[in-house]
Structure 1
């Protein structure tokens, strides 16, 4: 159990770091956009406003995708699943707390998977807050 907790804690630290750095990167891109917005009075429904929104959504998907794949690779290399496809599928639905019958999951990885669900929902919430702040900024006009 202690090994599972150590692995899960390490993954939480890694994914939170990746997530924070990813949001900083997106924020820096948005600061450039904010300067342009002041100069050009960009409407949130303009092509540029929509492009920024789509860019942020795709950026958030990329960040979450990387985090999901890290868990999946860990499961696969650790022998929790026989193939990478199953590991990615399991990690995706666990991260998003959709739920999955963990009957096929090796017992030694069950605690890691449970913590991945908690980690995923927190990171998804963080992304939601980031996205809502962006939309609020665009809608202040």
Structure 2
């Protein structure tokens, strides 16, 4: 192991760790706001005839908003790459960032040699963010679906 190489990675860690913390905080706060709005929107009226349509619309909107959160967070990383001179332009920086965050990695883009560890750390950040999003969407399904069951139970008890 080259001690000089290890020293050059310190900058990657110094930039990446705060970016990871920042994007996770933004993501968690954003998901919390989305979650509150979803529960209020669905909880106000559960009409069993239109439940599936409303459920699909709400989950679609929730997925879209979560995707926008990922785009904002990718933009934060892209801005850092541009600031550091790790990538030549905004378009390339955003494409690289989303590619790294999703661990897609098929774009023929590379960070300046000096900042390559930072790209791997962004991929780690992406795993955390997508894990949070997956848990959140599952939680939304677990929160919304029982509302339908309660409405069906209430309808049956009023008929009897």
Q: TM-score, normalised by structure 2?
A: 0.78
Which residue of 2 is the match for residue 17 of structure 1?
Answer: 25
Aligned 8 A contact 1:81 1:105 in 2? yes
Matches of 1:22 and 1:4, distance apart in 2: 26
Distance 1:58 1:42, change over 3 A: farther
Matches of 2:106 and 2:45, distance apart in 1: 44
Q: Which runs of 5+ in 1 are unaligned?
A: none
Aligned 8 A contact 1:44 1:139 in 2? no
Shift of 1:103: 6.6
Distance 1:41 1:114, change over 3 A: same
Shift of 1:129: 1.0
Aligned 8 A contact 2:96 2:107 in 1? no
Map 1:1-141 → 2, pairs under 5 A: 1-37=9-45, 40-41=47-48, 44-46=51-53, 48-100=54-106, 104-140=110-146, 141=149
Aligned 8 A contact 2:35 2:140 in 1? no
Structure exhibiting the larger radius of gyration computed from Cα positions = 2
Backbone CA RMSD of aligned residues: 2.0
Secondary structure in 1 matching 2:52: coil
Q: For this pair of structures, how many residues does the alignment match?
A: 139
Q: Which runs of 5+ in 2 are unaligned?
A: 1-8, 150-160
